[in-house]
Amino acid sequence: MFKGSLVALITPMRADGSVDEKAYADFVDWQIKEGTHGLIPVGTTGESPTLSHDEHKRVVEIAIEVSAGRVPIIAGAGSNSTAEAIELARHAKEAGADATLVVTPYYNKPTQEGMFLHFSAIADAVDIPMIIYNIPPRSVVDMSVETMARLAKHKNIVGVKDATANLVRPLHTALACGDDFCMLSGEDHTALSFNAAGGVGCISVTANVAPRLCSEMQTAWAEGRLAEAMAIQNRLVPLHDALFSETSPGPVKFAASLLGKTSEHCRLPLAPLMGPTRDRVRAAMTAVGLLN
């Protein structure tokens, strides 16, 4: 259903902190023209924790409007409040999104049963395909394979964005959830390794600034041109390293500013990048061939 290079979109902002809707619309169009296979607005990379509900919804709407059906839109709709997640998922469906991305509830530290009930309630309330977003480093909880297998039986729960960086996990997930369960890597460094373990693509941060390379890598892999895919992977590794050398999306927004796509501004509590990080990002962008 969803595969290839999907980008976890940044949310461009002006220096005063307001969302730059024009820059965002242009950025979405550029991503599609560069070959990105799907768009994810208002995920972690889109700074969803610091967007108001109105801003969150507008960012989803712009992505859908600009895409105009050219690529799938998987709208971020996660919250540690089940009722709030239902509200965001309902808006995503009404706006015309193709699916939602729902993160495991952060801060609350629910049990496995709590997570099962949370995701089941959202899937019951809103008839739209859902991708579970499992990212233990940010949410503190880790959904077990057993819980995911229980949820995979729901008709609306169709896959996972796996940001565990555990390459044994997709092997067990595929066995437990079946061949139709859509497995997407949530870690740029493991994109091809995850595919080798049964995945079908990556929800990428790096694709914000290297959309064509990320798309070509995934396409080459899918078409069996493995040496070509691995060559692109190796070319991108220093850029992956640089873009995660401080808390994301700080480095990738700075990288996007070097391309003239947006300002580097992130909302607090994310701080401006330190000087050495700026130098590292600029050097990596140059080495990969994205800057002259």
Catalytic residue ranges? 133, 161
What are the Cα distances from residue 37, in Å, to 83, 128, 175? 31, 19, 26
H helices of 160-292, where?
169-177, 191-196, 211-222, 226-243, 250-258, 275-288
Instruction: Give the span between the Cα atoms of 284 and 236, in whole angstroms.
Output: 9
Buried b (16+ CB within 10 A) or exposed e, 65-98: ebbeeebbbbbbbbbbebeebbbbbbbbbebbbb
CA pair distance 86, 81, nearest whole angstrom: 9
Phi, psi of 248 (to 5 degrees): -75, 140
Let me know: does 246 contact 272? Beta carbons within 8 Å: no
Ramachandran region of residue 266, left (φ > 0), alpha (ψ -120 to 50) or beta?
beta
Torsion of CA 236, 237, 240, 245, to 10 degrees: -140
Q: Residue 260: how many CB atoms within 10 A of its CB?
A: 7
DSSP string, 115-126: HHHHHHHHHHHS
- Residues with Cβ within 8 Å of 17's Cβ and at least 6 positions away in sequence, in order, are 265, 267
